[in-house]
Amino acid sequence: MKTRIATLMMVLGIFIATTAFASEPVPASKAVSKSVAEYIEKNLDYPEFAIEEKFECCVMAEITIQEDGTFLVTGCNCMDKRMKKYVAKAIYKMDEKSDYYAQFAGQQIYMKIIFDLKLV
């Protein structure tokens, strides 16, 4: 009887542990992270309000690739709220390569986007 209870508890423990971590996004490989970062940096324009105000900053973004290959910004941090909102909205709209990135669905990318007027 004790063996059956111990086995049942072990199976229940394994079930709880696997379901608790099932929804966690998988960190993307270096190749996928680099590809996504290059794609975003290439297609992300310097916002007009920042150019007019001669504003420079960096934005830290946490991006998850969705099932359809589009990007979901799950976290974004910047000192300026306008820049944070601009970056999140611009990344969300990027969908030209969604067919390609759909194969990496569920993977998570962390990236730093630098806005430097010298690069404009």
- At 32-63, the pLDDT tens digits run 999 999 999 999 999 999 999 998 999 999 99
Which residue in this structure is represented by tokens 């990027």?
94
Residues 115, 64, 111: CA angle, nearest 5 degrees = 30
Looking at the chain, the number of H-run helices and the number of E-run strands are 5, 4
Arithmetic mean of pLDDT, 64-68: 93
* Domain 25-119, architecture per CATH: 2-Layer Sandwich (3.30)
In what order do the strands lie in the sheet containing 57-65? 26-27, 107-115, 57-65, 71-77
Lowest mean pLDDT across 26-30, 42-46, 66-70, 104-108: 26-30
What is the torsional sign of CA 35, 36, 42, 43?
positive
Determine the pLDDT at residue 120.
Answer: 65
> Mean pLDDT for the chain?
87
pLDDT of residue 65 exceeding 90: yes
For the entire predicted model, the pTM comes to 0.74
